[in-house]
């Protein structure tokens, strides 16, 4: 019972869409770097 109460209080430090946008930005950056190095 105590564990269930503790689970309901836990919150994310940012809204879920912020994590999606952050992951999208990181993957875009990695893809850009990969394609830049591939041209050399």
Read off the pLDDT of residues 1-40 as tens digits, 9 standing for 90 and up.
566 666 666 788 889 999 999 999 999 999 999 999 877 6
Counting every residue written for the chain, the total comes to 40
Give a yes or no: residue 3 inside a domain.
Answer: no
Q: What is the pLDDT of residue 11?
A: 85
Domain annotation covers residue 37: yes
Q: Please give the tally of structural domains in the chain.
A: 1
Residue 20 lies in a domain: yes
Domain with 30, as residue range(s), is 14-40
d(CA 38, CA 25): 20
Is residue 7 domain-resident? no
Q: Is residue 32 in some structural domain?
A: yes
- Element of type H or E holding 27: helix 16-39
Residue 24 lies in a domain: yes
Structure confidence at residue 15 (pLDDT): 92
pTM of the complete model = 0.62
């Amino acid at each position: 019972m105590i564990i269930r109460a503790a689970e309901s209080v836990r919150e994310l430090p940012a809204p879920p869409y912020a994590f999606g946008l952050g992951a999208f930005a990181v993957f875009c950056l990695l893809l850009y770097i990969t394609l830049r190095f591939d041209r050399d």
